Amino acid sequence: MKEITLIFFCFLLGLAGAWALIWFGERIGMLDLPNKRSSHNKKVCKGAGIGLLFAILVASFFLKITHFLWFPSLAISVASFWGGDRYKLTAKQRLCVHLGCSLYFLLFLSETIKMGVGYLLIIPIVLFIVGTSNFYNFMDGIDGIAGITGLIGFLLLANYGKRIHADPNYITFCICISASCIGFLFFNFPKAKVFLGDVGSILIGFVFSCLTILMSNSIMDFLIMAGFLFPFYIDEISTMLIRLKERESLIVAHRRHIYQLLVNEMEMPHWVVSVGYGVFQAILGLSLIAVKPSGISAVFSIYFIYSMLFIIISLFIRYKAHASKYH
């Protein structure tokens, strides 16, 4: 009963954060003004992710979540609020904050579990945490996509965590975050009245990646749980490779993600694209869970099949978007 009450309260916090920014966002300068890189055409308040932050902090307190998860989550969210939503930090300054929070998490984690040879994994794991945090931020560009992905991603984590007998508090924690995403979505989907903002998108990516590490008992577990954000990873990485090939700066805003092309060039409704990404995410996540008994080769096979499927579809979309742009 206490868990249900906590989950419902986190839902209310997600709802309240979005409501508060709708009413007070403009007064405190939290406006997202449309530009040629945007996928919206009118000013919308941003920063509703503050509700998710409060939900994470409240859930952390009642579930006794370790400080090396909630404290860097608080730090990275506050830095994103002031440095991304309210004012502007440079890309290097933001990266330093993300690296610092990731190292704080990992260094305390390594002391807690006495990682030993695991110290050799610090660099790739830091890259995973920082990459996931930023990828989530980059992919938060249309109505509903970040909230739906967060909702499904953390529910998949909770489902898989129960299967591998992870700490029950982490499982409840994941459900609390999903509940806060539902609360936020009431004002962001199907038509956005408020945006998550950097305070929320970077926070969700950071917490997701840290929980993936905390709940993993093996490399297999890590590979499966990391895949619960696969649509974001594959869209971002494939777009980055194309931009690098064309010698574009990766720190310059753009509209070349597949979800952006679908909305801006092919004029699909935001909600259709967001739901489509969510369905893809859920199917792939459940596929990874289903093939676990068959071993790691089956997991890699799932990644290969879905990667090829995404690449083929994305090439078609890019071709159609390019054609429509010049007709």
Inter-residue contact 255 to 264 (CB < 8 Å): yes
Inter-residue contact 73 to 37 (CB < 8 Å): no
Tokens at 205, concatenated: 């990516």
Dihedral Cα 239, 126, 66, 8, nearest 10 deg = 0
Opening angle at CA 234, ends 156 and 97, nearest 5:
80
Tokens at 21, concatenated: 């920014």
E-only strand ranges, the chain: 31-32, 44-45
Query: Which phi and psi angles does 32 have, rounded to 5°?
Result: -105, 105
Q: Look at residues 16, 58, 6 and name the one whose alpha carbon lies nearest to residue 187.
A: 16
137 is in an annotated binding site: yes
Tokens at 162, concatenated: 């129960």
Residues 6+ apart with CB under 8 A from 92: none
CA 207 to chain centre: 9
In angstroms, the CA 280 to CA 311 distance is 13
Binding-site residue numbers for Mg(2+) are 137, 198
Binding-site residue numbers are 137, 198
